[in-house]
Chains A and B, each alone.
Chain A
Amino acid sequence: MARAIGLINANYFTKADPAFTLGRPLASLPVLGRYRMIDFALSNMANCCIRNVGVILPTNYRSIADHLGAGKEWSLDRKNGGLFLLPGSAFGTARRTGRFLIKDLLDNKAFLERSRTPYVVVSSASFIYNMSYTELVDAHEASGADVTMVTAKASADYDDMCGVVAEDGRVTGLTSTVKLGDTAFMDLFVIGREFLLELLENYREVEHLDLFVALHDDLKDDNVRTYEYNGYSAAVLNGEQYFATNMALLDPNVQDKLFPADRPIITKTHDTPPAKYGSGCHVANAMVSSGDRIHGTVSTSVLGRNVIVEEGASVVNSIILQGVTIAKGAKVENAIIDRNLTIAAGTELRGTQDDIFIQQR
């Protein structure tokens, strides 16, 4: 029998100005050319044979539901179990700090109650990494912890990441910001399913709180432990991180870490043809997706599917989302271009390295 079910909280709000998500929930933000943020948590679950996954949806869930469909790509179109789209509350949209809102978990207790697995892997859709959840659940099981919080070393100071204070792996405190090198929470944890149900009942009075805010006062009694993840991971909690994470993929070492052959990152597939390179195009240091047609110049950039770069057009240090056309002679530099836009011939859109230009639909 399966050991764990999965729960992904897509009703998740960051402190940052939500403009960087281009009007979408973070979970369905296109990233790394052909993916959406939620693909990473979902694929990690699929790759460790979790076949029962609930996704708590934000109120603007259209793009997430469209992307997930019946969950076929992640082997979640099951006779028993499979993919469950769960309602998230509208409560909290103004707050912008919600990670794992107790109310959202309580409202979907039925999903947890109907399972018989001992554990639940709970994740946000705000981090990019390729992790063996099998090893994670093994570690949780071996340690006997009530909760195992997955952590990574903070690569900078962040005021929107939760920090973890631990002694010999036992969590003793939680902070709301982190400094470079601190132990940061990756918004991913393993918890006993029955333990979680008990915890939620105990916190019913404070259902407006984040689970870990409530848990903070009970760290003495509950055995909450850390699991340090040393592989590649990237948080996407604000515009700078979004841009940097896309650009990091231009490093072949990062590609190898994120896309090992035995643990694919799975996404909704489309019948897009291979990318076509015209005569006289110039492409260097770029991630190029299927369906792209390149006749101009592309350098140090990430292109989504079905992007057209016409003759004499150039794309430099930019992220171009699916379906965009950069018409003849147009120049795009240090920019993010949202889906299906056409950048008219001869136009120039330029940001700077420190101030990326965002062209939204």
Chain B
Amino acid sequence: MLLAGGQGKRLMALTANIAKPAVSFGGKYRIIDFVLSNCANSAINTVGILTQYRPYLLHSYVGTGEAWNLDERGGGAAILPPYQTQEGASWYEGTADAIYRNIEFLEEQDAEYVLILSGDQLYRMDYADMLRAHKEAGADLTVSVMEVPWEEAPRFGIMTTDDEDNITEFNEKPAEPNSNLASMGIYIFNNDLLLKALRAEKEDPNTTMDFGGDIIPKLLAQGKKLLAYRFAGYWRDVGTVASYHETALELLGDNPEFDLYQDDFPIMSNTSVQPPHYVGPNASIDDALISNGCKVFGKVKHSILSDGVYVGESATVVDSVLLPGATVEDGAQVIHAILGEGATVKAGVTFGSADPNEEIALVGDDVVVGKE
């Protein structure tokens, strides 16, 4: 069950038209590709995708899920938006509420285990390993956790564990943490227990229908066996424009922490059909990711160009992320910036600043910077 309804408010213009999981990332990907590819690479063939905010582009991008091998008999990508019932209509309120309202889907699947995921995180994980740990320990619920620096622990949901990684305590954003194992919001439930817990939670008048805030503390109090599954490695949740920009540019360099080229665990995507990209005779490119359909005639340094980006003659793109179809006209400069899908910087115009104290310059989809 993939929670993909979030708005990603702090991503500002990037999520004005599009749900956060559908935001373009890393040149040819969208954020949800990472989790869907994890599913595909973990041999999961049924994924329910819970959507709510600005769903059209997300729905059309996921489609039947064929790009992630989900178009399988007996499996599939099921898109699960909120729906009206005889009792009325309302929105998903809280992570557990979204799952609760799709209990029918879970009952229909009749799976033994349910994996709950967020559609807006970037990492590579073989969920089959996590499931194996869950089964071997005979756990009721397994929570994926990672070590965070102690000083950052107060920002996370923190799990305290015993010697065998059984969770003994859970504290949401503790002021004085006694552990630095942060929950990644990735859960494996025994399906029966999940259904029971969701129904019980709905009866609680004070509930916020949140896994971290309500369900997990109650299961702990009931003495259920909660296992912490330790994950080490690259994991990002790009919450803000600055962290989006930083995380994207981390893909550059000689040995990026996240290796897009790891071919035994490919990141799959629903790509558009575009020709190879063209690098013009006067172009200069240094430390960049460049996608199909781009045309580069100017200078590109320490930047990411997504599908179909155009960089004109004598134009400069530095420390920037250009989303699909963005255009930088002749002689324009884009520095320390993010250009939305189909955005244009007119000829000779400078967008962004080299001053590291300045905020990332961001322009939304289809916006034109400079005079027409």
Q: Which residues of B contact A281 (CB under 8 A)?
A: 285-286
A33→B285 contact, CB < 8 A: no
CA distance in complex: A264, B261 (Å) = 26
B267→A252 contact, CB < 8 A: no
Q: Is B63 an interface residue (CB 8 A)?
A: no
Q: Is A181 an interface residue (CB 8 A)?
A: no
Given A255-B278, A284-B280, A290-B276, check contact A274 B289 (CB 8 Å): yes
Q: Identify which of B269, B274, B279, B280 gathers the most chain A CB atoms within 10 Å of its CB.
A: B279
Q: Which residues of A contact B290 (CB under 8 A)?
A: 274-275, 277, 288
Q: Identify which of A252, A277, A288 gathers the most chain B CB atoms within 10 Å of its CB.
A: A277
CA distance in complex: A34, B273 (Å) = 11
Interface residues on A, range: 35 or more
Given A274-B28, A274-B290, A290-B28, check contact A283 B278 (CB 8 Å): no
Q: Which residues of A contact B254 (CB under 8 A)?
A: 278-279
Q: Which residues of A contact B275 (CB under 8 A)?
A: 32-34, 255, 258-259, 265, 287
Q: Which single residue of chain B is at the shortest CB-CB distance from A294?
A: B285
CA distance in complex: A265, B278 (Å) = 16
Q: Identify which of B260, B273, B306 gathers the most chain A CB atoms within 10 Å of its CB.
A: B273
B285→A273 contact, CB < 8 A: no
Q: Identify which of A32, A265, A288, A291 gathers the most chain B CB atoms within 10 Å of its CB.
A: A288
Q: How far is the CB of B20 from chain A (nearest CB, A)?
A: 21
Residues on A lying within 8 angstroms of B by beta carbon are 32-34, 72-73, 250, 252, 255, 258-259, 264-267, 269, 271, 273-291, 293, 302-303
Q: Which single residue of chain B is at the shortest CB-CB distance from A279?
A: B287
B288→A277 contact, CB < 8 A: yes
Q: How far is the CB of A293 from chain B (nearest CB, A)?
A: 7
Q: Is B349 an interface residue (CB 8 A)?
A: no
Q: Identify which of A274, A275, A284 gathers the most chain B CB atoms within 10 Å of its CB.
A: A274
The B contact surface, by secondary structure, is: loop
Given A32-B276, A264-B273, check contact A290 B291 (CB 8 Å): yes
CA distance in complex: A43, B280 (Å) = 27
Q: Which single residue of chain A is at the shortest CB-CB distance from B40?
A: A271
Residues on B lying within 8 angstroms of A by beta carbon are 26-28, 66, 253-254, 260-261, 266-269, 271, 273-292, 295, 300, 304-306
B278→A286 contact, CB < 8 A: yes
Which of A252, A269, A277 is in CB contact (< 8 Å) with B285?
A277
Q: Which residues of A contact B291 (CB under 8 A)?
A: 274-275, 290
CA distance in complex: A284, B28 (Å) = 22
Given A250-B278, A287-B278, check contact A275 B289 (CB 8 Å): yes
B271→A285 contact, CB < 8 A: no
A–B Cβ pairs within 8 angstroms, 28 of them? A33-B276, A34-B275, A255-B278, A259-B274, A271-B268, A273-B261, A273-B289, A274-B26, A274-B27, A274-B290, A274-B292, A275-B289, A275-B290, A276-B288, A276-B289, A277-B285, A278-B287, A279-B254, A279-B287, A281-B285, A283-B279, A283-B283, A283-B285, A284-B280, A287-B276, A288-B277, A290-B276, A303-B276
Given A273-B28, A279-B254, check contact A287 B287 (CB 8 Å): no
B286→A275 contact, CB < 8 A: no
A252→B274 contact, CB < 8 A: no
